[in-house]
Amino acid sequence: MKNYEKIIKTLGLEPHPEGGYFKETYRSDLLISKEGLKNIYSGSRCASTFAYFILTNDQPKSFLHQLKSDEMFHLYDGGPLDVLLLYPNGDGAIQTLGKDLEKGERPQTLIPKGTWFGALLNRSASYALIGCTVSPGFEFEDFTLEVPEDLKAKYSDFSEMIESLTFKK
């Protein structure tokens, strides 16, 4: 059994629609009313959610997607993991989630709401186990996997990675 297979089994992770495996481990009982949120949500939301998420050699991609909430990635084990960030203002970046600070890797990265993002397991890694904190909390109705057709043109410097990380039906 590969190390990451043991992690998936031990933590009870399940396949995720965006790729990889996950398990929600916390959902706040503190609710934020619809009136207390911006008009981008259909109703109230819990204050935050936490989940485990793993990408592996067998599932090396988290396809491009977008959330209505902010999300923070925290690296727990393995890695590095390359995270493509396509910000609403038209800027883009690749941030490497990893432990080698001298190479510019960081153990956490913020994905602001409305950002298109995806991740690719670095070639040097067999897996990356991360924690995902979403605030306001994650709801599947706030999750978009269908990439707009103009995304590659808008972020032309990242067109190859966008193509690689776009979910194909």
pTM equals 0.94
The Cα–Cα gap between 58 and 5 comes to 10
Q: Match 């707009």 to its residue by tokens.
A: 148
Give the model confidence (pLDDT) of 4-48 as tens digits: 999 999 999 999 988 999 999 999 999 999 988 988 899 999 999
Evaluate whether 52 touches 129 at the Cβ level (below 8 Å). yes
CATH superfamily of 3-36+46-165: Jelly Rolls (2.60.120.10)
| Dihedral over Cα of 115, 121, 124, 128: its sign | positive
Which residues are CB-neighbours of 94 under 8 A, at least 6 positions away? Answer: 82, 83, 84, 85, 158, 161
Task: Report domain extents, the chain.
Answer: 3-36+46-165
Beta strands in 33-69 (DSSP E): 45-46, 49-56, 61-67
User: pLDDT by residue (tens digit) across 142-168?
Assistant: 999 988 889 999 999 999 999 999 988
